[in-house]
Amino acid sequence: MRLFVRALVLACACAGLTGAPAHAGHDPARQVLPAGDGWASSGQGTTGGAAAPADHVHTVRTRAELVAALAAPAPRIIRVKGVIDANTGPDGKPLACTDYATGGYTLPAYLAAYDPAVWGRDRKPQGPLEDARAASARNQLAVIGFEVGSDTTIIGATPGAGITGGSLRIHGARNVIVRNLTFRDTRDCFPAWDPTDNSPGAPPGNWNSLWDSVSLQKSENVWVDHNTFTDEPNVDSTQPLYFNRPYQVHDGQLDITAASDLVTVSRNVFADHGKTMLIGGSNTSTTDPGKLRVSVHHNVFRNTQERAPRVRFGQVHVYNNLYEGAQVYSWGVGVQSQIYAQNNFIRGIAPEKVVYNWGGTAITDTGNLVDGRLTSLVGAHNAAFPDKALGTDAGWTPTLNRGLEPAHRIRHLKAGAQPAGHHLVVGHGFPTVQSAIDAAPAGAVITLPKGVYREVVKIPASKRGLTLRGATGRAQDVVIDYDNANGTKKPDGTTYGTSGSATATIAADDFKARDLTFRNSFDRKKHPEITNTQAVAVKATGDRMFFDRVHFEGHQDTLYADSPNVTTRSRQYYRDCAITGDVDFIFGRATAVFDRATITALTRGSDPNGYVTAASTQRANPYGFLIVNSKIRSDAPAGTYFLGRPWHPGGDPEAIAQVVIRDTVLPAAIKPVPWTDMSGFPWREARFAEYRNTGPGVGQGADRPQLTDDEAKRYTKSAYLGGWNPA
């Protein structure tokens, strides 16, 4: 009986390792760190807010509610429902970077003042504009920074719960638990330029940002468990170069500095980031020695560039983690650091890129597998960097290693916050369309209730199989709208360009949209100062994309039906859709079928009034745009509209437009010669044709190429979609 009871107690304790929702009758928010589970289990242990009375348990859905809960008496439990956007004003409306700027700060002015050609490279920026940048950054921190006090548990209470753009600051606290949250895009609006911060082998200077998703300073007994950290949808790779250096807007995902101690970091996902985890912030610290004892176990580091972790001073046990994707380095061996790296699984990373010497002397490296093979990672480093050779004994042996497993069992490690379910509703835990997209797993369905959603939406390629659907069944009831144009200035003083103007940019394969409207409401008349008036409603680049009863509204360049690159064919099917515009308002190189579409060609009061299509089909692709069983309508005067012209992006000679319009009603507005040249490229060298069209805009003759009956058999919906059946 004693053996049975002991086994039962052990089983209950081990349940704490999983971080999954507890069995009925158990509240995950009151779960404590089990004994022996890393450094945070030592001393008085880590219990967070487990002892909180009922009136100290707070459920929060907004930034204001989170701030209030963090200020409430301890011990406290804070349950986060849905996604909280940290960049939110007192009125609940989103804040942009420009809303924080003060003292005359603008990025163009800052770039002009501290351009190395003007300022030089031997001193850090100083003066009014640097002061203004720092003040602007403080304004942002006052909004996005959340101070976490002692005896606190903060936990995601619903699938997909998290904080976007925020920074949890565990400073001067003890006994804190952070679990089951997704931290996204903790973006510093005001990175600082430092021409004296030089990296080996890189051009001089660096842009440095400040805000971490989770920051520990002067804190102890902290457990960070089952969270997901990501920069999506604003990854650093999309940022521009200034002074020939990446404009880095993200700092750490989890930084543990300033004499923090007794920390366990377990079962998190760290993804798509640069400076991931820093343990110890200074080579000259007098308070860090003897502190910074951290356990990092059963985490997934995916496509992180460096610092996984980088360590100074601390005794850090790094075990049973999964590393995958290209990295600069993972384990940074810093001054007086004592890293014990044990039983980790490394996939797809060169062995010499795992360890790097940042002024340390030794690292223990045992039981680690690289692509399934036992590998000495210290040996690989020493062979690659003989002038930075490290010893193989960190000088200590961990004992708080509950759950230690052989490395081969880590190759398929699952970790991170509980993802959102497969059916999300905007307004129910997700304040914006983008927040729902960010939280949604691949294959999810997102429902948009009736309303106008004024925001820019981006669906990355990783969200394969996503569906957006309007709740009412009427596209006009559910509108995603914004008004950027090619020539609209961004906060940094540059312009958006045609692609960047898109209200929605959709890169995911197998995407579906139904019963909603995408609109770009840019108004030329209100902005005479803008001459580049291309204003995209949707840029779609994925394959097997299905738009059903969707409206696309704009003027110039409304629908950009494209592919991710010139060598990739993207098939797109638009059924029962309505497309409105004037100049080149259906354009791009996708293989796209417009079936039973209503295409409205707006009048501009000129001749020509506009162009329905501007295809840029690659020469090797026999199928570009097919408009079939549709109706083109227009109030423009008779004979003032072209059906299309051939677009050669950047003068690409391989972009040979292919457009067939068949079995479609044409209005009187269509010109007798309906195709025309573009940018010096003659339309007759493109692949334009009609077949069996009707209406007052039809015509015959040498200037109106027609398919024969036999040719028409090759230009059908099934031929364009190439074996894919959207239905």
pLDDT tens, 28-77? 999 999 999 999 999 999 999 999 999 999 999 999 999 999 999 999 99
Strands 192-194 and 206-208: antiparallel
Query: Which positions ≥6 away from 11 have C-beta within 8 Å?
Result: none
**pLDDT range class, residue 234, cuts 50, 70, 90:** confident
- Residue 439's SS3 state is helix
Question: How many Cα atoms are found within 13 Å in the side-chain-facing hemisphere of 355?
Answer: 36
Whether 7 shows a pLDDT value over 50: the answer reads no
Integer Cα distance of 724 and 670 in angstroms: 33
Does residue 17 register a pLDDT over 50? no
- Residue 377 CA to residue 383 CA, distance in Å, equals 10
Contacts of 385 (CB under 8 A, 6+ apart): 352, 356, 357
- The predicted structure's pLDDT at residue 327: 74
The first and second tokens of residue 176, run together, are 């804190």
pLDDT at residue 203, as a whole number:
84
Question: Does the model's pTM come out above 0.85?
Answer: no
Give mean pLDDT, residues 222-243: 91
Nearest by Cα to 346 from 324, 379, 326, 367: 324
Q: Distance from CA of residue 454 to its chain's centroid?
A: 19
pLDDT digits (tens, 9 = 90+) for 502-537: 999 999 999 999 999 999 999 999 999 999 999 999
**300-306 vs 322-324, strand pairing mode:** parallel
173 has pLDDT over 60? yes
- Pairing between β-strand 228-230 and β-strand 269-275 as defined by DSSP bridges: parallel
**Annotated active-site positions, please?**
584
| d(C-alpha 705, C-alpha 232), whole Å | 47
Helix (H, G, I), strand (E, B) or coil at 492: coil
φ/ψ (deg, to 5) at 557: 65, 50
Cβ-based neighbour number of residue 664 at 10 Å: 25
Within 10 angstroms of residue 370's Cβ, the number of other Cβ atoms is 21
Q: Which of 676, 675, 600, 606 is nearest to 637 (CA)?
A: 606
Mean pLDDT rounded to a whole number for the chain: 93
- Give the E-state strand segments of 472-630 in sequence order: 478-482, 504-506, 512-514, 517-520, 538-540, 545-548, 551-553, 559-561, 571-575, 578-581, 583-588, 591-595, 598-601, 610-615, 625-628
pLDDT exceeding 90 applies to what percent of the chain? 89
Neighbours of 496 (CB within 10 A): 20
* 113-115-118-121 Cα dihedral, nearest 10 degrees: 120
Lowest-pLDDT range of 8-22, 61-75, 252-266, 286-300: 8-22
List pLDDT tens digits, range 627-674: 999 999 999 999 999 999 999 999 999 999 999 999 999 999 999 999
Q: Can you tell me which residue has the tokens 């004992």?
A: 399
Question: Which residue type sits at 228?
Answer: T
Structure tokens at 116: 């190395």
Per DSSP, the three-state class of 649 is: helix
